[in-house]
């Protein structure tokens, strides 16, 4: 399904687009998809619902690619940065697809390790085709990389009451962070993943399109007693920014390496091979020239992407990559790729509509996460 646009290609739609229309959602383009930005409740209330109780997101624009065949996991391990050898089947892992020549980040994604011959990858919407193309181009004989981007919905239930909501619709809960369980809903398979992008306890559910609407309706009904709100991608962005989670296309990109993006923890440095290994090891040894750092407003300034960051009035440093008003802290926060010669605890200036607002450099997250709590 797609929307017709007058000034570009048709936008893809979620299989439950009609549910969002019925709820009065405001839509925006995300990676070629028309997705809910916010509902009439507003971004701040949606954000707060996740932090204090529970919210539900439709993130069906996220990619889904299956790598299957003899040695599929070994192939993924030889190309993507993180080490699948660190986890067992039934576990998920944050990893990166990097360019082999530059070490730049093609995409950040989650790998779901089913078994040695089956790995599910969930990349970002805008990068799915490129990740699939690169993996297909070098796949060994017998290993297939299949793009299922439009075949499955992804619903994220996030917040302190997420277990209660899922349990009410008969789905499994309580498994470890970054693990998944294959379950059934209304006669259809559902993968229940203990993952998310908000910093709160929660789950992401991968279900076939034909059952997505029924699953959404059941979850909405189950969440009513807990004050669950349907949440748009606007609140998803403020929630992830509070955690310091990078967004591809803003904070990380082909022009940014894992070292610069403070994502070295997602690299299996001792592995024999992964795309970009040699150049990334060399940069790690030398030390990157810039690092993704957090900024917190000292005053009332709210940073936005593209705003200039300076050490003094006449010493420019970089630009804000992500910036927003933090509903939790009630102040402006942001991320920027700051040169490493700058003291990591320095105060810097941000040009906010012609005014030089002072910000404190910090190490994210800006808010204590609860995501790893038992």
Identify the pLDDT of residue 369: 83
Pairing of strands 229-231, 55-58: parallel
Greatest CA separation for the chain: 64
Total number of residues shown for the chain = 374
Identify the pLDDT of residue 304: 98
Identify the pLDDT of residue 2: 44
Mean pLDDT of the chain: 96
The tokens describing 365, both together, are 């997250």
Identify the pLDDT of residue 96: 99
Contact between 108 and 95 (Cβ < 8 Å): yes
Residue 50: closest CA among 316, 328, 318, 303: 328
**Percent of the chain predicted with pLDDT > 90:** 95
Pairing of strands 202-208, 229-231: unpaired
372 has a pLDDT exceeding 80? no
320 has a pLDDT exceeding 80? yes
Determine what percent of the chain falls in helix, strand and coil, rounding each to the nearest 5: 25, 35, 40
Phi first, then psi, for residue 37 (nearest 5°) are -85, -45
- Mean pLDDT on 291-311: 98
The three-point CA angle 226-112-123 to 5° equals 85
Higher pLDDT, 60 or 369: 60
8 has a pLDDT exceeding 80? no
Give pLDDT tens digits for 218-252: 999 999 999 999 999 999 999 999 999 999 999 99
Long-range contact set of residues 183-187: C-beta below 8 Å, sequence gap at least 24? 185/211, 185/214, 185/215, 185/218, 186/211, 186/214, 186/215, 187/211
266 has a pLDDT exceeding 80? yes
d(CA 48, CA 235): 9
Give pLDDT tens digits for 44-74: 999 999 999 999 999 999 999 999 999 999 9
Contact between 153 and 14 (Cβ < 8 Å): yes
7 has a pLDDT exceeding 80? no
334 has a pLDDT exceeding 90? yes
Identify the pLDDT of residue 224: 98
Residue 56: closest CA among 70, 41, 67: 41
**Percent of the chain predicted with pLDDT > 70:** 97
Identify the pLDDT of residue 9: 76
pTM, to two decimals:
0.95
Identify the pLDDT of residue 4: 43
259 has a pLDDT exceeding 50? yes
């Amino acid at each position: 399904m797609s929307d017709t646009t007058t000034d570009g290609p048709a936008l893809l739609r979620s299989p439950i687009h009609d549910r969002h229309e019925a709820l009065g959602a405001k839509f925006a383009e995300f990676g070629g998809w028309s997705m809910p930005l916010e509902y009439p409740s507003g971004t701040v209330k949606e954000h707060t619902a996740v932090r204090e109780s529970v919210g539900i997101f439709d993130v069906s624009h996220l990619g889904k690619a299956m790598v299957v065949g003899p040695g599929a996991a070994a192939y993924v391990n030889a190309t993507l940065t993180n080490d699948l050898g660190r986890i067992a089947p039934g576990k998920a892992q944050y990893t990166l697809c990097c360019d082999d020549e530059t070490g730049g980040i093609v995409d950040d994604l989650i790998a779901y390790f089913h078994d040695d011959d089956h790995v599910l990858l969930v990349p970002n919407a805008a990068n799915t085709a490129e990740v699939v193309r690169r993996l297909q181009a070098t796949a060994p004989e017998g290993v297939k990389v299949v793009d299922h981007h439009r075949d499955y919905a992804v619903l994220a239930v996030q917040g302190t009451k997420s277990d209660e909501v899922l349990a009410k619709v008969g789905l499994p809960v309580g498994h470890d962070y970054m693990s998944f369980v294959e379950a059934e809903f209304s006669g259809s398979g559902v993968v229940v993943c203990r993952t998310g992008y908000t910093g709160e306890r929660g789950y992401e559910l991968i279900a076939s399109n034909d059952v997505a609407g029924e699953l959404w309706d059941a979850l909405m009904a189950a969440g009513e007693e807990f004050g669950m709100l349907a949440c748009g991608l606007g609140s998803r962005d403020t929630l992830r920014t509070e955690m310091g989670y990078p967004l591809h296309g803003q904070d990380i990109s082909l022009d940014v390496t894992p070292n610069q993006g403070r994502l070295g923890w997602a690299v299996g440095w001792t592995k024999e091979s992964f795309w970009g290994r040699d150049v990334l090891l060399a940069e790690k040894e030398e030390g990157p020239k810039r690092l993704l750092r957090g900024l917190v407003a000292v005053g009332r300034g709210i940073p936005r992407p593209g705003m200039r960051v300076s050490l003094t009035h006449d010493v420019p440093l970089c630009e804000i990559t992500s910036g927003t008003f933090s509903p939790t802290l009630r102040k402006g926060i942001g991320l920027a790729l700051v040169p490493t010669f700058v003291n990591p605890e320095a105060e810097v200036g941000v040009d906010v509509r012609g005014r030089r607002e002072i910000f404190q450099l910090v190490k994210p997250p800006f808010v204590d996460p609860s995501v790893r709590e038992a």
